[in-house]
Structure 1
Amino acid sequence: MSQATIVLNALAERLASIAPVRMGLAAGETTSATLPVITIWSLSEALAANQDYDAPMYTRRAALELKIVATEQFHVTLDDLLLAIRELLTADLRISSTTFLPPADNGDSAILQVTFEFDY
């Protein structure tokens, strides 16, 4: 198992205290999932800016998406959940962006997307 997979699996274990976590193929289908649900997937990878001399270092970009049932206070709920996610991130995981997606017209779910990166 790669170091990147180990880091993502450890994150999934910590996030399970917030909601069930899906990775791999299961992350692609959340329409039938009981909400809330979290998905995690990798976005890209590049050589890290700071390299070791004895082994190459890489920066992995990944995303997590938290989907909740949309209530009138969905924006407050998403904000609270972002704070909870930040508390669970270890120092080596850096948030690069956060997106709040309101429910679609007549939709019943709201989404928080967090893009993060880590070196390994």
Structure 2
Amino acid sequence: MQQEPVTRTTLADHRLPHGTAFDHVEVRRITLAPSVQPGAHVHNGPVFGVIEAGSAHVHVEGGTERVLRAGDTFYEPGDATVLRFDATDEGVTFLGWFPLPDAASPEIAMGRAPAADDAMPTV
């Protein structure tokens, strides 16, 4: 039996909020040393990623905590608290794709996302 010359496998398919618009996507390689635990945080937009090497404990609020290893993908919604993205004792390196509106840069805020009740009223 001969192997196909090209194979395509869908690893993830994430739905984005209706009306989401992006001007550019920044791709970063990020490395956490062994056992680094950055703490809960929130991004200013969605993050898509794939683990290149090592492994990490990942838990996005509302989801299930899991251990990601090389080749595993992840998605962090822009309005969700990432409760854990902690390197295991082997450390972790991953690629992160940050879709952004015009002139924006990826930002991270430490701590939990504000509750919907705490949001500033729109006038």
Same fold (TM over 0.5): no
Task: Compute the TM-score of the two structures, normalised by the length of structure 2.
Answer: 0.23
Bigger Rg over Cα: 2
User: More helix by proportion, 1 or 2?
Assistant: 1
More strand by share: 2
Normalising to structure 1: TM-score of the pair?
Answer: 0.23
